[in-house]
Structure 1
Amino acid sequence: MKRKLLQLILLLLCITSAYPVYSATEKGQKEAETYKHLETFANVLDLLQKHYVDKVESSDVLIGAINGMLNSLDPHSSYMSPEDFKELQEDTRGSFSGIGIEVTVRDGVLTVVSPIAGTPAYKQGVKAGDQVVRINNISTQGMTLPDAVKILRGNKGEKVAITIRRAGLNELLNMVFVRDIIPHHSVIAQKLEKGFHRIQITSFQATTTRDFKKALRKAAKDGVIQGLILDLRNNPGGLLDQAVQIADVLLESGVIVTTRGREKENDMHFEAHPGKVRYTFPVIVLVNGGSASASEIVAGALQDHKRAVILGTRTFGKGSVQTVVPLPNGAGVRLTTARYYTPSGRSIQATGIVPDMIIPYEEKEITGQGSAPDIRLREEDLPHHFENNGYEKIDEQGQKKKKKTRSKNLAVNEISDRLAKDNQLHAALFILKNMASTLQKH
């Protein structure tokens, strides 16, 4: 790969010297300017190889140059090494090997957004808001998010150690985990009360729409669905087609989203279609500053069509579409190719979706896999933003029934606890019940 790149630079330099620069056309001027910059790049590379204090690997320098080129465009265009590209594919398929925490960089510190239920991190008590200061005795100060994720992930059965700083504790916590396969379920369904359900989508993956429909069918078997809370808080986005299909489930007709790029023939227009099952129950969508991209597509479509009430805080504001292009060496390029617009024609780039009802999240501890406090960093802050065989004996059946009742009581207590600690969810359920009551009266 590096040899091909060097050959390309040399070829361009030969062209530059063979053909004098003319200013006859604007195109000619731009080409000449490009050749001059390539010549400068070749000269700098030559200087590094000859005079830099340490030996320079050309491949590292060239990859760095590619990264720099893409990073200068916008925050979402990037080069992915073969390893990074493979991880991206694993994420969209829905599983990976690691310890089971979602992390972000907040105020320059690697911070836990949420532990994933049932994973090594969850079982050992990692909490939302924990600051990861070291991974395998390597300081995370100045470490990029992709680099941190790369160290946290690894082969199943291997150990990884992290050091945590937790609010309220004077001493650091040292934890050792054994990596395991993390099934990243993007759809989490929960019955709040009879007829009222919450479905949380944590990201938009290849199986999200299938799992969402499955959750709705399961809810309907329990009785008529009177109202739905679609929780998109801290959902960073994912696959565009999955966002469109989720919106299509709840809409009968109309535009969902349009994309417009530099090449007009590649512009896309997505519309809703009547489904086999028609859902008419009221919907409330929960969003916050961590709701981005595909999440904003769903929220924007449901808001513009007045199909749902959007509740929470202003979303991230990522109104651009990225296309992942695989390269011959197994690497890939994520390139911003279009902007997307809601059904009313508005772009939410750097502005986000403004909720119909603005209710800030009150920072209280939430048990289990809940929503983390609202993330303040948004698109506009980024550089260059653009889950009976019937033959048990009677006494065994009685025991099973008691166990089920006990399990049910635990679930009820968990829901009550969540509603008490999550003010946005509590408000959404209160409003949803009133909306359902109003519909029934009419």
Structure 2
Amino acid sequence: MRNFYSHEKIFYSFIVLWMLIGAVVLYAVNNNEVYSDSSWGRNKYNDGEVCDKNEDEVYLAKVRTLNEILTKLRDHYVDELDMEELLDAAIDGVLSKVDPHTDYFDEDELCLFMSSAQGEFGGLGISIDKIDDYITVISPIEGTPAYKMGIIAGDKLSKINGESIVGVSIEESIKKMRGPAGSKIVLTVERPGIGELDFEIQRDVIKIKSVPYAFKLDNGAGYIRIRQFNSHTAKEFAKALDDLENKGIKGLIIDLRSNPGGLLSQAIDTVNEFVGKDKCVVFTKGRSIEANQQYYTKYDRIREDYPVVVLINEASASASEIFAGSIQDWDRGLLVGKTSFGKGSVQNIEQLYSGGIKITTSKYYIHSGRCIHKELNDKILRGKEVSEKEREIIESENHKKEYFTENGRKVFGGGGVTPDVKVENDYLSDLGIKINQKNLFFSYSVDYFRDNKDKINEDFKLNDSLINDFYEYLAENGINYSETEKDSIADWIKINLEASIIEKKYGELAGYKKRLGTDLQFIAAKNLFEKYKTLDEMFKYAESLQKKDEEKR
């Protein structure tokens, strides 16, 4: 699969050959013929004779031709060929002719994909990144084997079971660290200020939390972050919401930004919390009968009628778009942020002899009838050039596709879910990008925490001396900047450095809350609860913004 992880380099297998052999064997069995010699691919028809062939015959003829080409190349080409490479190219060629969400997985990739979808795997429980050739621990997950054994943020992984992994990709290191629960692994780390340490760790089932953060804000609203929709999401969300409601929240912010989607069933069950039973959330349309389905909520439970605000951005995709669009369609909440990605297609996994294939089988439509799929994305993901003019035409056409919610509010479809309140987030300057690329907040905070642990409390603030020391640290690491550049993101630098230091002592949640202080989309959502008491008041505000947009157009 391409780009399953941002750094991943994908490996392929011999699936095309097996498909070819399977097709030929099927053809041979059905026709009582066996092809085994050099006459296997010859035309059985007389020269010059025009023959009508049905679609199946044409398909089988092409498969046989491809198989013969590969065989001839293997046996007779002047140089010895890497047949696996040729077969990989054949797979790529086939997949390049369909949409970018249809993809082949070898056995390892399929296992990784399924464990991600299910939200659990056998492993150690560490969040990692690659920094200066070293796989570096960003944070151990509380309660996991790595956490219990004393692995800490900043540890640089140098060996796994005695074998060096310096320079190895993130994907390869993940494969080496994952394994059956109960099995053991020896992890060698380089710890700053101490040196090399060995840890023998017993793997356990690691559950990926799809709801990593849930807390009550100082204005009385609740906040829940949904990272993805895996097999635990609906239960995790319900528990988090129960806890918040017990604390007496007056409204709720659900953060779906950069949520890539996941399991449709979990998105539907989570929507169920707000719209009640027997509500159509989504329906699908495809070529086969089984691809045409309608999906309804099925539980009686429904939450209190407090205002709900859902945060989305351009990286909210698939199941997260279904959730957000359904909240909008059923008039249960307001959407804030940027138009979502526009991934409105459904994929099924089909098992193969070796690995599996993820096939797009249908497109989905939410309750109002909107198809969220953005065809432009398919072109971009396939690496095709899209001109600015073409992009503008597509975007403008999307705004002409009007639909209506259950209570008659106007919404737009055809290219992602459009928020009711549009809010851009700040874009990082070149200086900010360079700091993040080199992970300098992280590395500085690791050093500071090691030497100043007792000075850090939950309200930790940077003084001028520390801020100046960090700017010197940037220069030492080859980051050049002007005073104007520095001043333009001074607040962002201060908040992010404070957050990075705080979370080394108090955990990810403490740092996460701190960073929200500079998040313009979050701030806009939070302010809605301070300006408006009811959801109807929020809807009226959103309608006034929509009218202003229409007047501009």
What TM-score does the superposition give when structure 1 sets the normalisation length?
Answer: 0.69
CA distance in structure 2 between the partners assigned to 1:6 and 1:438 by the alignment: 61
**Mapped pair 1:154 → 2:176:** yes
Residues 281 and 436 in structure 1, CA contact (< 8 A), matched pair in contact too: no
Letter in 2 for 1:362: D
Which of 421, 425, 428 is matched with 1:357 structurally? Answer: 421
Q: CA deviation at 1:215?
A: 0.6
Question: In structure 2, how many angstroms separate the alpha carbons of the residues matched to 1:336 and 1:438?
Answer: 37
- 1:123 counterpart = 2:138: no
**Residues 82, 285 of structure 1: alpha-carbon distance in 2 compared, 3 angstrom cutoff:** same
- 1:348 paired with 2:372, answer yes
Secondary structure (helix, strand or coil) at the match of 1:324 reads strand
User: Relative to structure 1, is the Cα distance of residues 423 and 404 closer, same or farther in structure 2, using a 3 angstrom cutoff?
Assistant: closer
- Aligned partner of 2:477 in structure 1 is none
Shift of 1:439: 7.1
AA at the equivalent of 2:267? A
1:165-221 residue CA offsets vs partner (Å, 9 max, x unmatched): xxxxxxxxxx99989765421012122236411111111111100111111111122
Give yes or no for the alignment of 1:325 onto 2:325.
no
Give the residue type in structure 2 aligned to 1:434: K
Q: One-letter code of the match for 1:347?
A: C
Q: Secondary structure at the match of 1:154?
A: helix
Residue in structure 1 matched with residue 80 of structure 2 by the alignment: 54
Q: Equivalent residue for 2:103?
A: 78
User: Counterparts of 1:325 and 1:230 in 2: how far apart (Å)?
Assistant: 33
Distance 2:43 2:89 in 1: 27
Higher helix share: 2
For residues 371 and 129 of structure 2, the distance between their equivalents in structure 1, rounded to whole angstroms, comes to 28
TM alignment of 1:412-431, pairs within 5 A: 417-431=514-528
Q: 1:206: which partner in 2?
A: 231
**What pairs with 1:329-408 in structure 2 (closer than 5 Å)?**
329=354, 331-350=355-374, 351-363=415-427
- Asked whether the equivalents of residues 274 and 302 of structure 2 are also in contact (C-alpha less than 8 Å), the reply is no
Q: Is the 8 A contact 2:306 2:535 kept in 1?
A: no
SS of residue matched to 1:235: coil
Instruction: Give me the whole-angstrom Cα distance separating, in 2, the residues matched to 1:296 and 1:7.
Output: 39
Q: TM-score, normalised by structure 2?
A: 0.56
Residues 347-390 of structure 1 show CA distances to partners (whole Å, capped at 9, x for unaligned) of 1111211111111111479xxxxxx99xxxxxxxxxxxxxxxxx
Question: Structure 1's 405 and 325: CA in aligned 2 closer, same or farther, altered over 3 A?
Answer: same
In structure 1, the gaps of 5 or more residues are: 104-111, 127-134, 141-147, 163-174, 366-371, 374-402
Preserved CA contact (<8 Å) 1:93 1:205: yes
**Counterpart Cα distance in 2 of 1:228 and 1:294:** 20
User: Higher strand proportion, which one?
Assistant: 1
Do the aligned partners of 1:316 and 1:352 also contact (CA within 8 Å) in 2?
yes
1:221 equivalent to 2:222? Answer no
Identity level (%): 28
Distance 1:218 1:204 in 2: 20
> Is 1:295 aligned to 2:320, yes or no?
yes
Query: Which of residues 181, 188, 191 is equivalent to 2:216?
Result: 191
Tell me how far apart the structure 1 counterparts of residues 294 and 73 of structure 2 sit (CA, whole Å): 48
Aligned to 1:123, what secondary structure does the other structure show? coil
Structure 2 residue 127 is the aligned partner of structure 1 residue 100: yes
The corresponding residue for 1:137 is: 167
Secondary structure at 1:187's aligned position in 2? coil
Identify which of 315, 336, 346 aligns with 1:311: 336
Change (3 A) 1:176 1:244: farther
Whole-angstrom distance in 1 between the partners of 2:262 and 2:310: 18
SS in 2 for 1:276: coil
> In the superposition, relative to structure 1, how do residues 65 and 212 fare at CA in structure 2: closer, same or farther (>3 Å)?
same
Contact 1:137-1:161 within 8 A present in 2 as well: no
Change (3 A) 1:232 1:364: same
Provide the aligned length of Structure 1 versus Structure 2. Answer: 362
Alpha-carbon distance between aligned partners in 1 of 2:197 and 2:286, rounded to the nearest angstrom: 47
Cα pair 1:261 1:267 within 8 Å, conserved: yes
Q: 1:91 aligns with which of 113, 116, 125?
A: 116
Return the letter of the residue paired with 2:361. Answer: T
Question: Residue 267 of structure 1 is aligned with which of 274, 292, 303?
Answer: 292
Shift of 1:160: 9.0
CA RMSD of aligned residues (A): 4.3
What is the one-letter code of the residue matched to 1:6?
Answer: I
Partner letter of residue 358 of structure 1?
Answer: K
